[in-house]
Amino acid sequence: MPRRQVVRHCAIYTGLAPFLLVTLFPLLWMTITAFKHERDLYQMKFPFWFHLPPTLKHFHLLFTQTWFVTWVINTATVAAAVVVVTLAVATPAAYALTRLRLPGARGVGVALFMSYLVPPIVLFIPLAPIVGALGLMDSRWALALIYPTITIPFSTWLMIGFLRAVPLELEEAAWIDGCSVAGALRRVVLPLTRPGIVTVAIVTVTLAMQEYLYAVVFAAPVEEKVITVGLPTMLVRYDIFFWGALMAGGLLVGVPAAIAFSFVLGRFIQGLTGVEEP
C-alpha cells in the first residue's frame, strides 16, 4: 500500500477513534457492571476493573427471580407480528401510490410522513377505547395492534422512495412476458426493493423493542410485559436499583440484537443511501 494511502487511513481512523470510544463506552460499562459484585460496584476504586472476582449472580437472579425469559418471548412475538403487518400493508400501499398514478398521491405520501411525527401520547386517548372494545387490554397483543399505527405511515413513505428507484420499464417487460401486475410485483419489484424491505424491518423491530409508553399501559400484567417495561419495573424498587441485573438484562438483549443487525448492515446502508456497502 502506498505511503500516502497509509497516512490517509491513519488520519481517518484517528478521527473516528473518539466517536468509537463514545459509542462503545456504554457497552463496556454495561459488561463490567453485569459481572461485578455489589460490594465491588460501590467501592470508591477504579471502576473499569474487577477488584473482586467476577460473578454470575446477577444473571442467576435475572433467570430465577424475574420473568425475563417470558418478557423476551413477548418482545419477540410482538416484534415479529408488527413486522409482518407493517410489510403486508406498507408495501402494497407504497406500490399503489408510486405506480397507479392516483390523484394526490404525492400529497398522500407527505401526509403519511407527517403523521409519523405526531407524538404517541396524542394517540393514546383515542386508541385506549379501541383496545378495550376489542378485549385486548392488559395483553401483549394490544401492542401488536397499536404499533403498526406508528410503523405503517413511516414505512409506506420509506418504501415509496425505494419503489421510485425501480424503473417502470422492468415491470412493463414482465407484463409483456405474461406476468400480471401482482406477478411482476412479486418477481421483479420486491427482489429489487429488498434493501428497502430490510430497512423497514429493522426500523420496525427497533421501535417494538424500545417503545415504552404504550407497553407500560396496555400490557401491565407481569406475564404480558415486554422487556423494555419488565426490566425497569421489576429491578427498580423505589430508590433501590439492581444495577447488576439491569445491566445483565440489557447485555443479553442488546448484544444478540446488535449481532443480528450486523448481518444485514450492508442492506440497511444500501437502503438508506442507495450505495451498497463494499
Please write the tens of the pLDDT for every residue from 55-101. 888 888 888 888 888 999 999 999 999 999 999 998 888 888 887 77
Task: Note the pLDDT of residue 49.
Answer: 80
Report pTM.
0.80
Give the structural domain span for 27.
3-55
- Please report, for the domain that includes residue 231, its CATH number: 1.10.3720.10
Task: Note the pLDDT of residue 104.
Answer: 65
Extract the residue ranges of the chain whose pLDDT is less than 50. Answer: 275, 278
- 171 shares its domain with 201: yes
> Domain for residue 250, yes or no?
yes
> Domain for residue 18, yes or no?
yes
Task: Note the pLDDT of residue 109.
Answer: 67
Of residues 141, 118, 121, 117, the one with CA closest to residue 131 = 141
d(CA 94, CA 105): 10
Task: Note the pLDDT of residue 77.
Answer: 92
> Domain for residue 278, yes or no?
no
- 211 shares its domain with 115: yes
- 156 shares its domain with 31: no
> Domain for residue 208, yes or no?
yes
- 110 shares its domain with 244: yes
d(CA 231, CA 234): 5
- 39 shares its domain with 83: no
- 144 shares its domain with 188: yes
d(CA 107, CA 109): 5
- 131 shares its domain with 7: no
Task: Note the pLDDT of residue 81.
Answer: 92
Q: What are the angstrom distances between the C-alpha of 144 and each of 17, 125, 131, 196?
A: 40, 17, 11, 22
Task: Note the pLDDT of residue 152.
Answer: 87
- 17 shares its domain with 137: no
> Domain for residue 60, yes or no?
no
- 51 shares its domain with 70: no
Q: How many domains does the chain divide into?
A: 2
Task: Note the pLDDT of residue 271.
Answer: 54
- 101 shares its domain with 217: yes
Q: What are the angstrom distances between the C-alpha of 242 and each of 36, 46, 147, 176?
A: 12, 20, 30, 65
d(CA 18, CA 208): 30
Of residues 207, 91, 224, 107, the one with CA closest to residue 160 = 91
- 139 shares its domain with 45: no
Task: Note the pLDDT of residue 84.
Answer: 92
- 109 shares its domain with 155: yes
